[in-house]
Structure formats: structure tokens, C-alpha cells
Structure 1
Amino acid sequence: MRKKVMATVLTAAMVASISVVPQSVAAATDPSDLKIGLITDVGGVNDGSFNQSSWEGLEKAGEDLGVTVNYLESATDADYQPNMETFVDEDYDLIISVGYMLADATKEAAEANPDTKFAIIDDSSIDLPNVTSLMFKAEQASYLVGYVAGLTTKTNNIGFVVGMTNETMNQFGYGYCAGAIDANPDITVQQFNANSFADSATGKSMANTAITNGADIVFQAAGATGLGVIEACQEAGVYAIGVDSDQSSIAPKTVLTSAMKRVDTAVYDAVQELIDGKLEGGVETFDLAAGGVDIAPSQDLISDDVIKAVDDVKEKIISGDVVVPDNKDDFEKKYGDVYVLD
């Protein structure tokens, strides 16, 4: 990953915490002249998670800022490139890709269309001046929900279902396992890879396996696949932990908390930067200190003492007293080889 510097001020309460390229600031653009398109991953725009939160951020930008917004859903990965071509052919000013799985299609489109701006969530591999990478310290939010799980479980046995395993998604697992172990050294974390972000049946099956094997809390970082996890937990009368957005509305008596990534705000801010002439290529990373990640505000199912403990460890993460591992080597240095999915 390249390490460069960017002088960009983000709107709202979020600020990039690492490196992006230097930029020349262009003149602001009339928002009514701008068209911004969003391309979902295979989970679809109503996945209750990553894609939906991204679209909600873009919808809000359309309402607040006066830009024209639209989305195209990807039913399979074969839809990525045609969706890119549709927005390019229709002269969209900014095309936002939701998720690292769109990296190849985004890079190809950006190389072929240097005058069009692109942004991609959760991928920093594209080194082009017209591509902005929106990254999140997912391991920090996952650590917090792992800490909640470790302090809340009655069986000392919890589960984790991930949509796919790779460098980005494993950050959820590293953080979750680290937080759970730090809160409860006697904890067992059952781990499952669904190998899909759009297979709720597999998510449900994996959660049921975890529950049968003693888990009383299951965290899912799996897009629409995670909806099946929540359904299984609801039917079994155990807790689920949501991801990306506050998923408590899906099952208010089941979703204990959620590991939030404010992709909605990141998308909104990217549009604002485009309007202001400040959106340039590089990496913008959103962390706990800037409010880019956190646990959900819905905390009715969490005990007061657990909330206090989580607030305390949150401050330690922000201060640097607790450093959450975001890669295999750093995780294993402290916790051993208990994370088995990478």
C-alpha cells in the first residue's frame, strides 16, 4: 500500500487517519451539475448492512447537497464491469464501488477513463490519481463487540461467521477474537467462513452449528449472508452481533450490538469533497478516534457494567494504550494461533 500525504478536511466528525496523495484543489462545482453512481456488491442494496449503508449515505447526499444519485446492483461478479460501463457511458462524475471485490473492475474502468473520478470502499490496492480508497479500522469496532461478547456470554462460548477470508475481512476476526479474549481469557470462539456475502441459508446453517456447539452469541461480518445468522440466533433465543450498520432493527431482542463502519458518512463526505473540488486519489482511513468506527448506539441489551467496561477500553484504544491487531503476525504475537480462518 502506498504511503502518501493529502491535505483534505472531511466533513462531519470524521477525518482520515492515514496517508493520501497531495492534491491541487480545484474550484467548487455546482452540485446540480453532478451525477454520482454507486455499484453494490452481490449482497444488494437492501442487504441490511454494507451496501445498504453506502446507499443511505449517497441518498442523504442527494437530498442534502442537491446532486443526482443512482445505484446499480450486482447480482454476481459478472455484473461489476457492465455496471461500471453503464455509469461511464452516462457521464457520471463519481462512481463509488462498494467493497474490495470490485477492485479489478474499478481499476480497469479508472485506467480507461482518467477524467472520471472513482471511489472504492475497503480496498487500497489501486494507485491511480482518479481513485479514492475509503478504508476503515474494522478491527477496532470488532474488538469492542468482541469485548461485549466476552463479558456477556454465559457459556464462555461464542461464534463468528465471516463472508469471505482475506486481508480486509480477517481484520474483523482479529479484532473480535482479541476483544473477546482480553475480556474473558476462558472464551472459546467458533469460526466459520461462508465464502459468500449473499447466502443467508449458509449463514443460518453456520450459526446453528455454532449454537448447537454451545455458542450463546454469534457475530457476523458477512453482508446479506449475515441476515441468516441473525435469523438463526433469533430462533434459538441467543444473541447475534451485527456489522457495518446498527442492525438492531432487524431483531431488537436478538441483536446485542453491532460493529459499525460509517460507510454512509464516508460516502457522503466523498460527495462533499467532489463538490468542493477536493476529492483526489489516495487513501482515506476512518478510525475509532474520528468516529469512523464504533459499536452501535443501541445498547438496551447490554448491561451497565459491560457498557462502562467497553467505554473504558474504547478510551484506551483511542489513547494507544490498547493496540488492536489488524494482521496475522501481530495477532499471533499476543494471542497465538487461535484465529483459524486466514
Structure 2
Amino acid sequence: MNNTMVSSEINVQKVEDFLGRVITDFGGALGVSLAFIGDQLGLYKAMAYAGPLTSEEVADRTGTSERYVREWLINQAAGGYIEYDAKARKYMLPDEHAVALTEEESPYYVAGGFQIINGLIKAEDRIKSNFLKGGGMKWGEHHHDLFDGTERFFKPSYLGNLLNSWLPAINGMVNKLESGIAVADLGCGHGVSTILMAEAFPKSHFFGFDNHEPSIKKARTHGKEKKLKNVTFQVSGAADFNSQQFDFITFFDCLHDMGDPVGVLKHCKKMLRKDGVIMAVEPMAGRKTEENFNPVGRVYSAASVLCCTPNALATGGYALGTVAADEELEKVVKNGGFKHFKRVTETPFNRVFEIKE
């Protein structure tokens, strides 16, 4: 039987609408690649707060080829990233877009996401093989753009939320940090979260642990640049860190990446003092599958396929995934030996959980 439906049996308008959506995605995918190039070459920064510019002026400001810049600008205008004045034949980066694309200390900054995507798509062949064979791929096996992009992309969220809303949502924690306690930041990566807390609470000591040695080296460099005396970075997994007892343990967007989250939490229970608390920051996800059918869910489920689930399968075999529902996380927490599990606050992109006895 021929599975191809004759044109009279389908809704042509629905087909055309779908094709329009696909073409939009084609443009978006290519646009992300060009946006990353613009970020790396300083094209956005050259246009930021500069008013209308010609392609020649943008090229001159960045030391790039006008011939390439010319069509890069067309692409960016077609995608709505920049604006075009047809009468003056000049392009302009709106101030509101400049904040998001060029100001790395702004909570609106998103350019690191272009770098993450650029790094993830380089793993296509490996991930395709995983679909067929069921294997995994460790975090450290990805292209370095993933590591650098993750620091740049997540830092704005931490700057905007960690001290102002996430820590205050954990009952009594700010007072404890101000008085002086020991904190373990697991899966710390380049140490952005660890350093932010160490700067804010000089009486407490912060230990950043990560099993990716290149990331720990970068974190140590950041710590030295800040001249912090109350932060220590060590190469260690979340299931075997063992320097001392801790009052507070944090997971920033990483618990779902771990191949044995139950084992990790059991180890955390051993390492926590009697009244110790865990804060787990996880990507936003719906309580039901269909609640992830939105732009955020689309991004996070893709990241899960390309990065988070492969890492979990490669390091233990239990894959929560990036869009694990609260219920799934709670089961892991309870199996890890903790009774209290509560979502204490959230943002459009993250959920924050308090975990304790």
C-alpha cells in the first residue's frame, strides 16, 4: 500500500502553514550560526549605541570584510535582530537588543547561548550514533564552545537571581551565610555561582567541585582574579567529594545531568551536618509532558537530547533529563534519603528546590 496521500486528501493550507514554520526554523538555525559569528567578531558591539551605520562603517569598525558584513546585516535585519532604514540605507541595533547581545553583566544577556548551540551541534554524529546504540557522551567530550558558552549564558541568570531571590527563598540561609558556614557547590563548572556567593558572604567558605578538570582550572583562574580567600576549587565528582562536613550544598543546573542522582544525594546526606540544607536549581519544566510544548521547553528538551541525557547515560545510566518534572525529581530526592522537597521559587527559566531531612 502506498502511504503517500493524494493531494485531494490533505488540507493544503495546513501543509503550507507547516512549510512556513519549517522555513522559519531553517532561517533560525542559520541565523544562530551567524549570530555567533557576529558575537565573536564584535559586530554587535560595534553597532551597540552607535546609531545608524552602513555595512562599510560596520566593517571598518571591526576590521572585517565588507562583502561578508553586507549580507550578514541583511540576515540580521530579516531575523529582527537589527533594523534597516531603507531611505538612509543604514542599519541600527536597537538599544534594547544591544543590552541582550553585548552587555555581559546584564541579566538580559543571551549571547552565550549562541556559543552553546554552536558547541552542541558539533556532537551531531556522536548523538546520532547514541540513538542507534543507546550510548552516552560525557560533558567533557563536547567542543569547548559548550563550556565557555555555558559560563556566559548562565552567569546573567545567576547575577540577577542568586543573591536577590534564590538564596533568600531557602529558609534562614542568608543569615547562616552571613554568620559563616561551609558550602559545597557541586558541578560548579567555571565557578560563576561559587564566586558570586563567596564575594557576597566573606565569612563563609565555599568549595567548588566538578569532575571536569579544564573547568576547575578556569574556575581557579577566576577565583585568583577576584583575589578571594574564602573559595577553593577541586576536581571531584558529586558522589565522592570528601573534604569536610558542610552546612549547605548547592546544585546549579546540574543534578539532572548526573548518571546516579540517587547515589549523589545519598553521599550528600553523609556530607551534610545535622541541620544542613541542599538547594537545587533546575531548568524550568512542566509538571505534565504537554506543559513543555513552548519555546523554553523546546530549547531545554533539545539540550537534553544533545548534552544532558548523554552525560547521564555515560556516567551512571539514570537519565532524569533536562525537562524532568517535579514529581520525578522528588522521587530521586526521597530515594536519596531526604524527606523534605519543596519548590521555593522560580523564574521563567529555572525552578529552585529546597531539600533537607
TM-score by length of 1: 0.32
The structure number with the bigger radius of gyration is 2
Structure ranking higher in helix proportion? 2
TM-score by length of 2: 0.31
